[in-house]
Structure 1
């Protein structure tokens, strides 16, 4: 499977309709370049650093009008899509969410960010609590995390134990946290025998300067692909035989000692 990561600053006025236009243009280009899946950043539809009131105003249900238009984009270009957006839950709570659609436009996963980053996230969102959902697309089992989630080894390990081959991570990572792209994402891929696709924003939004540096962590260690700091579409080819070879070499999952890890579930 060839995957594409959309690294973008998004619409400067944070208009969902304009960002869906960007998604369609990127989907057309990525599909034309042979990609089967396009991953966009965290809160792609609305902007990330937008505050509680704007997040609540722009929040939609997982099957809302933006999701329906995204489904049409996926069908029209024959490419699976994953993008971040503010979700209005059935109870009225607003979540930092990501939706995965297959190439027919059918929804396959809707994930809510579990680890909220500082006051910025906590002022806008309620936390999700489901870390192990996976869906099969193109012969690979996919899971989703969002931004800060990937910095917790337990989150990626939970998906690995659920059978994930590829973890999709829409993100809005800002300066000075470049270690996430250079060190943490490759480490998560290596220690779990899977791939981690990390699609970041770029440019500025309020006081935040986004890093770019979208990447695809490789189960052999390092990054399979790494973007610069500007707008681009980053590609990576996921080869089943390379993944299988990495898993034969890497025995971390097999050599785990769950009986010795009880303290990991206790709060400090």
Structure 2
């Protein structure tokens, strides 16, 4: 599957339409955009921009996907049950049909904790062109448990819209490729670049492969559409050569460790 990763300083439907046009022209089957790609990340009050999952923006993105014949992953503030606001992403197929919806489960920092309600469903997956695609958002991928849950559920390509800020470049350069290797899947990671409000985004979008390679990587500043292939043959071979999932010993990984007995120094014998 040829995947396009949009690293951008801007946001909105026009930006997404331009990226989808370029992705399709370069033979991509799927376009991954950054976290909150429809509204931008630095919102004074995300609730003012929130829409239902099937709101007007969803209809507009479906038209874009159909027009260019490319699947799209986009982010937006979702108005959920009881008025809760979620940091959400939707995967739309190349026919414009919604394939999966995911609400960010691990909120980052006081800004997100103040404005968003965390999701409670993991993993979220869909199948496109014979590959199982999974969804996470930004901070989620920094938790090995979240990525391993996808691996155990059969995810082949993990799609991660992100808004990684400086100075945490090591997440993109070191941690994301490590996640791909340790869980034996592709990780597609699309970031924002440059300043937006008080936030300075690190760029460094990439596609990381399960064999430890990084077929595509942007620099820290570029406004670009990266294109690279997730190869099912490489995925099969890498999983055969690196059977981490099969060799796991979950009986040794309790969810809660046994209490460690305290050691005290014995009292000296009286003289």
Task: Specify whether residues 222 and 178 from structure 1 end up closer, same or farther in structure 2 by C-alpha distance, changes over 3 A only.
Answer: farther
* 8 Å Cα contact 1:40-1:83 kept in structure 2: yes
Residue segments in structure 1 that go unaligned for 5+ positions in a row: 12-18
- Picking from 78, 87, 107, the partner of 1:87 is 78
> Which consecutive aligned stretches of 4+ in structure 1 deviate over 4 angstroms post-superposition?
none
Q: Which residue of 2 aligns with 1:263?
A: 255
Residue segments in structure 2 that go unaligned for 5+ positions in a row: 259-271
Structure 1 residue 264: Cα displacement: 5.3
C-alpha separation in 2, matches of 1:125 and 1:6 = 24
User: How do residues 129-208 of structure 1 correspond to structure 2 at under 5 angstroms?
Assistant: 129-208=120-199
SS in structure 2 at match of 1:50: coil
User: How do residues 17-96 of structure 1 correspond to structure 2 at under 5 angstroms?
Assistant: 19-51=12-44, 53=45, 55-96=46-87
Structure 1 residue 265: Cα displacement: 8.6
* 8 Å Cα contact 1:133-1:162 kept in structure 2: no
Q: Which residue of 2 aligns with 1:221?
A: 212
Task: Specify whether residues 265 and 84 from structure 1 end up closer, same or farther in structure 2 by C-alpha distance, changes over 3 A only.
Answer: farther
SS in structure 2 at match of 1:246: helix
Q: Which residue of 2 aligns with 1:10?
A: 10
Structure 1 residue 263: Cα displacement: 3.3
Segment of structure 1 superposing worse, 220-229 or 21-30: 220-229
Q: Deviations over 1:201-234 (max 9, x none)?
A: 0110112110100011110114221101220001
Select the structure of larger CA radius of gyration: 2
User: How do residues 211-250 of structure 1 correspond to structure 2 at under 5 angstroms?
Assistant: 211-229=202-220, 230-250=222-242
C-alpha separation in 1, matches of 2:111 and 2:186 = 28
C-alpha separation in 1, matches of 2:209 and 2:232 = 12
Task: Specify whether residues 232 and 176 from structure 1 end up closer, same or farther in structure 2 by C-alpha distance, changes over 3 A only.
Answer: same
Q: Deviations over 1:36-74 (max 9, x none)?
A: 0000000111111213x2x00100011100000000000
C-alpha separation in 1, matches of 2:129 and 2:118 = 30
* 8 Å Cα contact 1:6-1:232 kept in structure 2: yes
* 8 Å Cα contact 2:34-2:161 kept in structure 1: yes
* 8 Å Cα contact 2:26-2:227 kept in structure 1: no
C-alpha separation in 1, matches of 2:73 and 2:256 = 31
Q: Deviations over 1:110-140 (max 9, x none)?
A: 1000000010210110000111121101211
C-alpha separation in 2, matches of 1:98 and 1:265 = 34
C-alpha separation in 1, matches of 2:41 and 2:257 = 30
* 8 Å Cα contact 1:168-1:196 kept in structure 2: yes
Structure 1 residue 260: Cα displacement: 1.4
Q: Which residue of 2 aligns with 1:117?
A: 108
